[in-house]
Amino acid sequence: MILWLTSQKLSIRTRNEDINMKKINGFEEFIEKLEETLNDIMNEMNIPDNKPVNISVSVNIVPVMAANPGDIFITRKNKTPVDVLETEKKIHVLIGLAEIEPKDIMLTYSGKTLGIYANNPQNLVNEMVELPARVNKTGIKTTYKNGILEIIFNKTKLVKKRRNSQQSF
């Protein structure tokens, strides 16, 4: 399946058919935010506009679905959706935390590990995410909108100490 979008429509090409959809209000806002985020990342990576880019996106289906209130349904424990994107100087972490208020979210980090803890009556999150590089403890930016928490870390600039090749006895 191939997915592409223009300013007026979302197009999907599958093996058997092409699907073209007009953007709808809520979806349009989502697509605009996605376009903005991807453009920011591509600009940070200094990718020319005419160079093709392969972007992998994960889609997670909501684990609880019922047609009518009161219907019986089965729930299953899913991992919290987490995407980690790395650029030359930054690490972007996107976390799906639907139905969780920002006040219920706690983050910890140490070295290359990010801990995500959140608790409310509908959802319990306890995830550890391995980051691709060490991060600074300062300059962290977080935003939470529409159930998506974005954390932007600055990578640590490692200073390698030179070892003296001469040893005295």
Domain CATH code at residue 110: 2.60.40.790
Whether residues 82 and 34 share a domain: the answer is no
- CA pair distance 44, 32, nearest whole angstrom: 18
- CA pair distance 59, 107, nearest whole angstrom: 23
The mean of the pLDDT values for the chain is: 71
Average pLDDT over every residue of 58-85:
58
- Residue that has been written with the tokens 């996605």 in this structure: 34
Whether residues 140 and 94 share a domain: the answer is yes
H or E stretch at 144: strand 141-145
Q: How high is the pLDDT of residue 47?
A: 72
Q: How high is the pLDDT of residue 141?
A: 92
Coil, helix or strand at residue 8: coil
Average pLDDT over every residue of 145-149:
86
Q: At 97, list the tokens.
A: 């935390």
- CA pair distance 55, 83, nearest whole angstrom: 12
Domain tally for the chain?
2
Residues 34, 37, 43, 45: is their CA dihedral positive or negative? Answer: negative
pTM listed for this prediction:
0.51
- Residue that has been written with the tokens 């972490």 in this structure: 93
Whether residues 83 and 40 share a domain: the answer is no
Whether residues 53 and 83 share a domain: the answer is no
| Domain limits for position 6 | 1-57
Percentage of residues of the chain with pLDDT beyond 70: 57
Average pLDDT over every residue of 136-156:
89
